[in-house]
Amino acid sequence: MDEPKQVLSYIAKHNVTSNTKECYCYAYRKYCEYYQIEAEIPFYQPEPKAVRIPSNEKLEMLIAYASRNLATKLLMSKETGLRPIDLCNLKVKDVDIDQRIVYPTTAKHGAPRENKNYTKRKNDLQEDQAIA
């Protein structure tokens, strides 16, 4: 462990993902700091992960079997493209039931926007607001 060249060579040749190599390097970096070992430890870039989007059929099935409260959130997310954190941060005043517009406050402090896509029936929304 006190020979950085050997450790870094082992990490580089080890048959694991770049994410795992970065974790090894992070741990070894901390080890070197603690024991005051001079070493230039590389940074490994994480490998991009493919996003798997469920089909409309699977989304509809998920919505159909969800509780009423969760189904409302899933449907709103599906139709407006809101992230789960944005949905959780929604307040009653952010939803215009009559015009079916959602005014989300984004979690990443993005530009304000309105989503006009929300099509859930007006009385369903009112009932869900009464439940929440």
State pLDDT tens for residues 61-114.
999 999 988 888 888 888 888 888 888 888 888 888 788 788 887 766 666 666
| 125 in the same domain as 90 | yes
Region label for 13, one of left (φ > 0), alpha (ψ between -120 and 50) or beta (otherwise): alpha
| Residue written as token pair 């009112």 | 126
SS3 assignment, position 60: helix
* Parent domain of 29: 1-49
Quick check: is 39 in a domain?
A: yes
For residues 63 and 127, membership in a common domain is answered with yes
How many domains are contained in the chain? 2
The residue with greater pLDDT, 132 or 79, is 79
- pTM assigned to the model: 0.49
Same domain for 2 and 63? no
